[in-house]
Copies of this chain bind each other. A is one copy, B any other.
Amino acid sequence: MVHPGHGDSTSLGAAPRNATIQDVADAAGVSRAAVSKVIRNAYGVSPQMRSKVEAAIAQLSYRPRVAARAMRGPSHTLGIEIAQVSNEFLTMIVRGALETLVGTPYQLVVAPVTAPHETGNALQSLADRQVDGIIAISPMVGEAWLEALSDRIPVVIIGRHDVSTHYDTVAGADRSGTDQVMAHLFDLGHSRITHLTIDNAREHILVDDPTDWQRSGREPHAIRHTVYTEQMRRRGLEPEVLYTGGDELEAQSSAAELLARREPPTAIFAGNDTLAMGALRAVAEAGLGPADVSVVGYDDITMASHPLVSLTSVDQSGTRIGAEAVRLLLERIAGRTESVQVEEQVHLRVRGSTAPAPHRGTTTE
């Protein structure tokens, strides 16, 4: 009658280990299977059985162990890989994901990436955890790698514009966003425009094989970079790109150095808002303002709309993107097999950080 291994623990006042399904079954005088059915709301339980069991559950304050359940079926855990926890846009994505998960039985485990080449490890550790699905934010691994991963487990990639039959993608319209930025700056009369972008934009993709290089153009910062260059050339202007770390303070010092040059730009187009905020720091501390150098960001984080900051930026709602990613993942888990690509519209929010290009050479001095 007694489950083997449970012995007669009545003897010593042993540490009252958490109740198991067997304990509940014993207390209610039914089988484990019966209890299992009750807690899963499965078909085929009589009302009296149900109430007996529920009483025992309450009395023992029994809680099913998630790990044990995960051995048979889903772990009810989703994983999210995130490169830079200090980037507000990225945390907005996480927030959107978290909010969408409220009310579902799913929880989210966060796998931060310390260095680009560690991305694979982060994703792998999520896979080891038997998560039911993975959200990867602009992961810096090759497509073949992702294909292999998504072959075993549902994956949605945020940011990259890949077209895979295995995984889904959610991305902002980076070409359009960048076009809007450049058009705006050109309208304002700027011609000396520097693009401030993150250091590893060039090596954003960890290649599996050399041909993979060609695909690197699908990473958001790479696209913004490319479109910026195209637009400049189209106007007969010389593109100028400044690489920096992904951190606000690093961006600040890069920008400060830029402004100290003999012929500083009249506008800075930052690859994301974190970099833009850093650029804004540099501008302010150089005693300059929008009339001297315009700054445009990308992402439209919360701070961009703050009246004291008023950063012109491309709005791509991080929370919406995160929410969408979760939705796609849940669909996949529910059985969808065809892959889907979502491209979110983006809009330039014009604010006070951009102004007409200063006249040049009008006055002597």
Residues of A within 8 A of B (CB): 18, 63-68, 70-71, 75, 77, 85-86, 88, 91, 94-95, 98-99, 102, 107-112, 114, 124-125, 127-130, 152, 248, 277, 280-281, 284-285, 302-303, 306-309
B94 x A85 contact (CB < 8 A): yes
Task: Among B75, B98, B112, B127, point to the contact of A67 (Cβ < 8 A).
Answer: B75
Q: How far is the CA of A284 from the CA of B310 in the complex (A)?
A: 11
- Across the interface, name the chain B residue whose C-beta is closest to A118: B102
Known contacts A66-B128, A66-B130, A71-B71; A110/B91 CB under 8 A: no
A111: B residues at CB distance < 8 A: 107
B98 x A110 contact (CB < 8 A): yes
A284: B residues at CB distance < 8 A: 307-308
11 contacts between A and B (CB under 8 A): A67-B67, A67-B71, A67-B75, A71-B71, A86-B302, A91-B91, A98-B110, A99-B112, A107-B110, A107-B111, A281-B306
A109 x B107 contact (CB < 8 A): yes
Task: Among B86, B99, B109, B303, point to the contact of A303 (Cβ < 8 A).
Answer: B303
Q: How far is the CA of A102 from the CA of B64 in the complex (A)?
A: 30
A129 x B112 contact (CB < 8 A): no
A110 x B110 contact (CB < 8 A): yes
Task: Among B63, B75, B130, point to the contact of A128 (Cβ < 8 A).
Answer: B63
With both chains docked as a complex, state the minimum distance between the C-beta of A256 and any C-beta of chain B, in angstroms.
12
A112: B residues at CB distance < 8 A: 98-99, 102
A277: B residues at CB distance < 8 A: 303, 306
With both chains docked as a complex, state the minimum distance between the C-beta of A64 and any C-beta of chain B, in angstroms.
7
With both chains docked as a complex, state the minimum distance between the C-beta of A337 and any C-beta of chain B, in angstroms.
14
With both chains docked as a complex, state the minimum distance between the C-beta of A361 and any C-beta of chain B, in angstroms.
30
- Across the interface, name the chain B residue whose C-beta is closest to A64: B128
With both chains docked as a complex, state the minimum distance between the C-beta of A100 and any C-beta of chain B, in angstroms.
11
- Across the interface, name the chain B residue whose C-beta is closest to A78: B109
A18: B residues at CB distance < 8 A: 152
Q: How far is the CA of A345 from the CA of B306 in the complex (A)?
A: 30
Identify which of A70, A71, A281 gathers the most chain B CB atoms within 10 Å of its CB.
Answer: A70
B94 x A114 contact (CB < 8 A): no
A94: B residues at CB distance < 8 A: 85, 110
- Across the interface, name the chain B residue whose C-beta is closest to A68: B71
Task: Among B65, B85, B129, point to the contact of A107 (Cβ < 8 A).
Answer: B129
A102 x B114 contact (CB < 8 A): yes
- Across the interface, name the chain B residue whose C-beta is closest to A125: B107
Q: How far is the CA of A121 from the CA of B67 in the complex (A)?
A: 18
Task: Among B102, B107, B130, B285, point to the contact of A307 (Cβ < 8 A).
Answer: B285
By Cβ-Cβ distance, the 5 closest A-B pairs, closest first, are A67-B70, A284-B307, A85-B95, A109-B109, A66-B129
A75: B residues at CB distance < 8 A: 67
- Across the interface, name the chain B residue whose C-beta is closest to A353: B308
Known contacts A67-B70, A110-B110; A309/B307 CB under 8 A: no
With both chains docked as a complex, state the minimum distance between the C-beta of A248 and any C-beta of chain B, in angstroms.
7
A130: B residues at CB distance < 8 A: 65-67
